[in-house]
Amino acid sequence: MKIKWALNELQKYQDSALAVDGSVDLEKSLKKRDDEIIAVSPVSLKGSLTVEEKSVYYVDLIVRVIITIPSSRSLEPVDVSMEIPFSEIYLAPDSPVSLEQFSEEELVERLSADILDLNKPIEDAILANKPSQVFTDEELETDDMPSGKDWIVLPEDQHNDDTNSSNDEGDPRFAILKDLFKDDNE
């Protein structure tokens, strides 16, 4: 499926929107941009591209993809199904329309060349929506945490962060530094 067009090629769609329905393989480029990604299914795109008279291009898509990333707990591969609404507006380099005419909620970009390439924006949307924590089904069903010789992982609710305690003494190893800037504090 094509996701890169010359702007003069899109001018013929001023009367009716260009239907976008298909899939593209972005696995190689996504894995290059984020080394945590293990695998990426073909990215399914469904929506439309509308062209206005003054060289304004509206892209409205639903992006569906399954990415495989490591579990936050065990590093086992986890498939994450994502459905991302993608709505952006592009202005041709010579478009008389200014960016200020759009609201702050709208994503508007002035193109630097006479080419509309959705490859990087779609990748950006996928990476921005990638969850920061994922767990396998088994990990979600149990409270078992990884452990090893002389170490154990504690869940967030059981973690006691000593650095935030109200103990004024602090780390005794830093006691010698206490008087280092004494003159500055007076």
Q: What is the mean pLDDT of each run of 10 residues along the chain (186 residues)?
A: 92 90 97 97 97 91 98 92 97 90 91 95 97 89 76 71 54 75 62
Task: Please give the pLDDT value at position 163.
Answer: 45
For the full predicted model, state whether its pTM sits above 0.85.
no
Which tokens go with 182?
């004494």
Task: For the chain, give every domain's residue range.
Answer: 4-139, 145-185
Q: What are phi and psi of 56, to 5 degrees?
A: -110, 130
d(CA 129, CA 34): 13
* Residues with Cβ within 8 Å of residue 100, at least 6 apart in sequence: none
Q: What are phi and psi of 111, to 5 degrees?
A: -75, 145
